Amino acid sequence: MVKKNKIKYLCNGCGYETNKWLGKCPQCNIYNSFVEIIDEDISKTNINLKEPSAPIKLTEIDSVKITRQKTGISEFDELIGGGIVPSSLILLGGSPGIGKSTLMLQIIENLSDIVLYIAGEESPEQIKIRADRLKLKNPKILLLQEIEISKILNTAEKIKPSVIVIDSIQTIYDSAVQSAPGNINQVRECALKLMEYAKPRNIVVFIIGHITKTGEFAGPRVLEHLVDTALYFEGEKTNDFRILKSIKNRFGATNEIAVFEMTDKGLRGINNYSNLFYFNRKDKVAGVSNSVVIEGSRPLLIEIQALVNSAIYGNARRVARGISISRLSVIIAVIEKHCGISLIDKDVFVNITGGLDIDDPAIDLAIAMSIISSVKDRAISVRSAFIGELGLTGEIRAAARMLDRFNECRKNGIDNCIVSDQNILNFEKSDISQNIKIHTIGNIKELLKYF
């Protein structure tokens, strides 16, 4: 059968695939991000059944003990599961200027073998200025200013590094691929070549990738399926705290976070960050409520702020910082339907303080509470926390790991917890500290009794 070439379109931002060109990506909402790709469709009759490969019995494979290499930055080591695993591919993503190159230099400073640092973005002099600021002294760090992948791998073959750093993947290109650096084809192809080169040679590869808000460069998300570990910087450049989150980790837990502070001498790990996201107010204010979320393995007490104002006619705005806009839309719809509160002519702003992006659905109840509190202009006690997921029919669903969440409340002087009535089934009352009062509710309507 004849080979058939099909044209398809891939989103530069997230890799979303479609058969026709779209102006806006339905998955990551970036405009103008689709690029044309020729997909070689090989007919099924080409499958070769004559030369089988031999599978091995799982039980007969020897267990290997992984020796992880410590970087000396304990917060980073913990985040990735206890140190760097040999031959792993680690993606470090974040917006420009957030601190990716800084952290990278600090990590490789403590490694004992040769590190090949590919400087695709900055000149060696620029990197030297940063290295001096960080007081780096490791003579085994070798800089290479080169952006063609086969030349990079040729150099690697000569100097035999144990770690390769690519800063950044959007500046590297493969001359065999016919598109500009930063294009999704280039980014994927180069990452694949790096992987093919590094895995059999036991080399660790760090790939730095910028997250951009526009579609002209492929974002690091298109590489997530390929790498072993994907780490992203969250938070804003405007404050000094940088949150590094593990989105994927083949050698450790995911959704774990490490918190750093940007100082004049680079990033400094903060070990005890549990109080960093909690404001600990003395006086209650309308539009504010507390919740405890689980980030990775740790419970975190956080403050959720909402501001509800009259909107200009027909132009009600919904702005969410720290939660997704679709989650906010669902919560607003549930409040309108089940609490009899109209928000159609209101602007709604929601903010999670501290720059965290929260995925834990148990935050829903506190978001709803903050919004209702702002609408009614009535404040809620600063010593209560709301923990539970909202269903579309207004029901409050149980959250996991409640005892850890209660403990976090107790440590921070919160003595009232409002949770789902389904949660009561999941723990013994005697397990809960005497100092915490638990109130259970079944439906969002019952929140109104707190006003």
Question: Is the backbone of residue 15 left (phi > 0), alpha (psi -120 to 50) or beta?
Answer: left
Return the number of the residue (218 or 365) whose C-beta is nearest ligand TYD: 218
Binding mask 79-118 for ligand TYD (x = CB under 6 A): ---------------x-xxxxxxx----------------
* Shortest Cβ 123–Mg ion spacing (Å): 12
Residue 265 makes contact with ligand TYD by CB under 6 A: yes
Shortest CA distance to 229 belongs to which of 200, 195, 260?
A: 195
Q: Give the residue with the Cβ less far from ligand TYD, 13 or 266.
A: 266
Instruction: Give me the numbers of helices (H) and strands (E) for the chain, helices first please.
Output: 8, 21
Closer residue to Mg ion (CB): 122 or 216: 122
- Contact between residue 10 and residue 16 where contact means Cβ atoms under 8 Å apart: yes
Specify whether the CB–CB gap between 155 and 149 falls below 8 A.
Answer: no
In whole angstroms, how far apart are CA 122 and each of 1, 101, 173? 49, 10, 16
262 interface partner picked from Mg ion, ligand TYD, none, CB below 5 to 8 A per type:
ligand TYD
Write down the H helix ranges in 110-222. 124-133, 149-159, 184-198
* Site for Mg ion contains 212 (CB under 5 A): no
340-346-352-358 Cα dihedral, nearest 10 degrees:
60
Report DSSP state, residue 173: B
Q: By C-beta, is 108 or 306 nearer to ligand TYD? A: 108
Q: How far apart are CA 222 and CA 244, in angstroms?
A: 19
# residues contacting Mg ion (CB under 5 A): 1
What, of ligand TYD, Mg ion, none, does residue 133 touch, CB below 5 to 8 Å by kind?
ligand TYD
**Part of the chain binding ligand TYD (CB under 6 A), chosen from 56-64, 127-135, 181-189, 328-336:** 127-135
Strand 318-321 and strand 346-352: the pairing is parallel
Shortest Cβ distance from residue 171 to Mg ion (Å)?
10
For the chain, the helix, strand and coil percentages under 3-state DSSP, each to the nearest 5:
25, 30, 45
Q: Does residue 36 sit in helix, strand or coil?
A: strand
**Contact flag: residue 170 with Mg ion (CB under 5 A):** no
- The rounded distance, in Å, linking the Cα atoms of 70 and 47 is 45
Q: Rounded to an integer, what is the distance from CA 148 to the centroid of its chain?
A: 29
The option from ligand TYD, Mg ion, none interacting with 299 (CB < 5 to 8 A, set by class) reads none
Question: Rounded to the nearest 10 degrees, how much is the dihedral formed by the CA atoms of 370, 374, 377, 380?
Answer: 10
Report in angstroms how near the CB of residue 103 gets to ligand TYD at its nearest.
7
* Residue among 92 and 444 whose Cβ is closer to Mg ion: 92
Binding residues for Mg ion restricted to 70-129, rule: CB under 5 A: 101
Pick between residue 93 and residue 215 the one whose CB is nearest to Mg ion. Answer: 93
Question: Which residue, 101 or 290, is less far from Mg ion as judged by CB?
Answer: 101
> Judged by CB under 6 A, which stretch of 154-162, 257-265, 321-329, 410-418 contacts ligand TYD?
257-265
Beta carbon of residue 59, minimum distance to ligand TYD (angstroms, whole number) = 45
**Per CB under 6 A, does 262 bind ligand TYD?**
yes
Count the site residues for ligand TYD by CB under 6 A: 15
Under the rule (CB under 5 A), what is the footprint of Mg ion?
101
Under the rule (CB under 6 A), what is the footprint of ligand TYD?
94, 96-102, 130, 133-134, 262, 264-266
